[in-house]
Each structure stands twice: as C-alpha cells, then as structure tokens.
Amino acid sequence: MNLGKSLLWIAGIVVFFKLIYKFTMSKVLSFFLLFFCFSISNAQNSDIDLLKKINGNRNTNIESGMVGITNSVMPISIGTPIIIYAVGLIEKDSLTKKKALFIGETFAASAFVTLVLKSATKRDRPYVTYPEIDNVVEESSYSFPSGHTSLAFATATSLSMAYPKWYVIAPSFLWAGAVGYSRMYLGVHYPTDVLAGAIVGSGSAFLCYKLNKWINKKRAPHQKKLWE
C-alpha cells in the first residue's frame, strides 16, 4: 500500500469519527487532518523519506530506551483502568469505577478498529518493502495502522477526558507521542501508520465518551455531564 492509499485510509478514518462524534473540536481537528492528507497525497516518497531520516539517524545509546517505550504500551494501557477500578472498589467510589470502565472500553474499541484496518489494508512492514530500513524488533502483524500508537493514544485521550488536569494530560500525551516516534525509530512503522494509529486511538476515546454519555442520558435525563 503506497502513500496515496494510506492517506486516503486516514482521511476515511477521520471522516468516520467525525460523522459519529459531531462537536466543535472534532470538526476543527478533522478539517486540519483532511487538509494535511490531501495536500501531500501526491508526494508518494514523503512517507518512506521521513522514515529513513528517523530510522537512519538512530543513536544506539538510546535504542534500549526506545524498545522500553514501545514495550510499555500493553502494561500501561491494561494496567491503568485496572488500577483505577481497584481504587474505586477500595474507596467505594462509583464515579471512579465508571471512569475506569470508560478507559477500558476505549482500549477495547481501539484494539478492535486497529485489527479490522490491519486486515483490510494488509500493508507490509517498511523493512519488508525496503530492505535498507533497519528494524530493531520483529513484528508479525501488518503495518497499517500502528497498534501500539493506537492503544497509547486511546489510553492518553480517555485518561485525559476522565481526569482533565494538566498534570494528567501533559505526561499522557508525551508518552503517547514517544510511543509513536519509537515505532518509526525502531523501523517497524511508516509515519502514516503512526498518524492513523493516533487518530484511531483518540477517535475511539471520543466515540466511547459519546456512547457513554448517550447511555447515561437515557438512564438519568437530568444529568448533563457524564462525570457526575
């Protein structure tokens, strides 16, 4: 799958989440992402050129750190809702448990969408198509979108929505961004894989939030906010 096709897939993902979750931030984000996709849709070599710059200028001294960032995705993404739910149980706080379930639902939704897209696109890993790409780790699944990035952004976005404080938002997205960069650094994903993964992860959080809000409204019509 070349750059043009991957960008069209990204545009489709953006439109999908935009149609499902209609609110101001989504519209603004969708506009800029669509503009980005179509503005470089003819630059077929941009994807691999950027990857070569990132992967080709690796510093072996931080390689193990990048592997560690990549490997942190599953423990953090799975552990976060479990720990928050455990705290809710201990403190007998239904709101905390509700937030934990929301984060867990986002993880599941993001993983599902990612698997569907991987099966639909069947994009080979960059080191398979371009032997000059030096992959530090081996991956058995398809490349588009980045599953690690998807789950990282799903966790970062849902956690930030549940706890909208700067000291939660800043480190969450710093970590998610580092995960995305590590996937390119290690030679296992194209930049468009990472971009699509970030959109899928964040979009899954917004989708789950809207779904939970709709369910909550049916149960308690007087309640305007989800986290009450």
pTM recorded for the entire structure: 0.82
pLDDT tens digits, one per residue of 138-162: 898 999 999 999 999 999 999 999 9
Ordered domains of the chain (ranges, CATH): 3-219 (1.20.144)
Specify the pLDDT at position 59. Answer: 87
Residue 205 and residue 168: Cα distance in Å, rounded? 16
Per residue in 11-24, pLDDT tens?
A: 666 555 555 455 44
CA–CA separation, 45 vs 98, rounded Å? 45
pLDDT value at position 214? Answer: 82
At residue 58 the predicted structure's pLDDT band, cuts being 50, 70 and 90, is: confident
Please give the mean pLDDT across all residues of the chain: 84
The pLDDT value given to residue 223: 61
